[in-house]
């Protein structure tokens, strides 16, 4: 793992962490044979915890064209009962890395799952007071229609009531260097963020994959993938493209900062962390 800050052309990207999470393997990868998964243990020890799949609610900030863009907002302050009372630390982590909440001009959501919207609001006020928030229209429609099962929408709906939420569909441009790309399957509106600056590219892939073993086995879907078949197809297509083009990628739930390249090594397709 290197420093949490990288540059892509004239942009600067910082990896941010909210809270560590673990899920028993049977709950996380219910259809994946454990003996096959174990083949990847040595390659990616950071994704194994004592309970099962180990990850964190990761986010990124992008400085581009004079703007600060926050990609996702973690699980939130908590305490989180499902994590034994753990609390989120995103805002402290942002401050310590030079990205105070007031600096954020845009909050761009890859999707609207609980571990990606948790710090949107602080009580009745937006945590990022100067930001416009962007969320995928298809996720808004889906989760808003099932509010009882999606309490995380309490972090999203007030922003719409305040006129601070923009719903987007497919490709939108935030700055000349930062745009979105539809990568559906994990959720109906799941999107990735493409940073393209001075000939260098980074795909901030959100939850396109959760575990780095999926780079070699894109057909393996996490239980959180709402449409497993579509998620697998999208994952395969995007990973093929990343391998072919050699661009940098960033995954919210991969170990460490989540920055790396897709490469071929030892007969496998692997994630090579920066």
Residues that bind Zn ion (CB under 5 A): 115, 207
CA angle 180, 181, 184 (to 5 degrees): 125
Report CA-CA distances (Å) from 21 to 84, 85, 214.
10, 11, 18
Q: 6 vs 205, which CB is nearer to Zn ion?
A: 205
CB 145 within 8 A of CB 136: no
177: Cα within 13 Å, side-chain hemisphere: 23
Q: Least separation, in Å, of the C-beta of 93 and Zn ion?
A: 17
Q: Least separation, in Å, of the C-beta of 210 and Zn ion?
A: 7
CB 47 within 8 A of CB 216: no
Q: 93 vs 207, which CB is nearer to Zn ion?
A: 207
Q: Least separation, in Å, of the C-beta of 212 and Zn ion?
A: 14
Q: 63 vs 238, which CB is nearer to Zn ion?
A: 238
Question: Among candidates 59, 65, 85, which has minimal Cα distance to 11?
Answer: 65
Q: Least separation, in Å, of the C-beta of 251 and Zn ion?
A: 10
Q: Least separation, in Å, of the C-beta of 74 and Zn ion?
A: 9
Q: 89 vs 115, which CB is nearer to Zn ion?
A: 115
Q: Least separation, in Å, of the C-beta of 169 and Zn ion?
A: 21
Strand partners, 62: 13, 69
CB 120 within 8 A of CB 133: yes
Report CA-CA distances (Å) from 61 to 80, 154, 187.
24, 23, 22
> How far is it, in rounded angstroms, from Cα 49 to Cα 31?
19
Q: 115 vs 177, which CB is nearer to Zn ion?
A: 115
Q: 12 vs 207, which CB is nearer to Zn ion?
A: 207
Strand partners, 69: 62, 106
């Amino acid at each position: 793992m290197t420093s949490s800050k990288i540059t892509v052309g004239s942009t600067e990207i910082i990896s941010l962490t909210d809270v560590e999470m673990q899920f028993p393997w049977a709950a996380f990868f219910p259809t994946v044979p454990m003996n096959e998964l174990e083949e990847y243990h040595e390659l990616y020890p950071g994704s194994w915890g004592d309970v099962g799949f180990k990850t964190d609610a990761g986010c990124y900030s992008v400085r581009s064209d004079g703007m600060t863009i926050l990609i996702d907002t973690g699980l939130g302050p908590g305490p989180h009962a499902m994590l034994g009372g753990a609390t989120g630390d995103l805002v402290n982590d942002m401050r310590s890395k030079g990205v105070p909440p007031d600096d954020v001009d845009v909050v761009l959501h890859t999707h609207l799952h609980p571990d990606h919207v948790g710090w949107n609001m602080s009580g009745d006020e937006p945590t990022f007071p100067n930001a416009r928030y962007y969320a995928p229209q298809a996720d808004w429609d889906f989760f808003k229609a099932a509010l009882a099962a999606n309490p995380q929408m309490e972090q999203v709906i007030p922003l719409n009531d305040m006129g601070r939420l923009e719903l987007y569909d497919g490709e939108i441009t935030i700055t000349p260097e930062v745009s979105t790309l539809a990568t559906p399957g994990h959720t109906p509106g799941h999107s990735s963020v493409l940073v393209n600056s001075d000939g260098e590219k980074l795909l901030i892939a959100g939850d396109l994959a959760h575990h780095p073993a999926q780079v070699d086995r894109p057909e393996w879907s996490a239980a959180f993938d709402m449409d497993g078949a579509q998620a697998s197809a999208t994952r395969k297509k995007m990973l093929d493209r990343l391998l072919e083009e050699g661009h940098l990628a960033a995954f919210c739930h991969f170990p460490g900062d989540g920055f790396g390249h897709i490469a071929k090594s030892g007969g496998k397709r692997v994630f090579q962390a920066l």
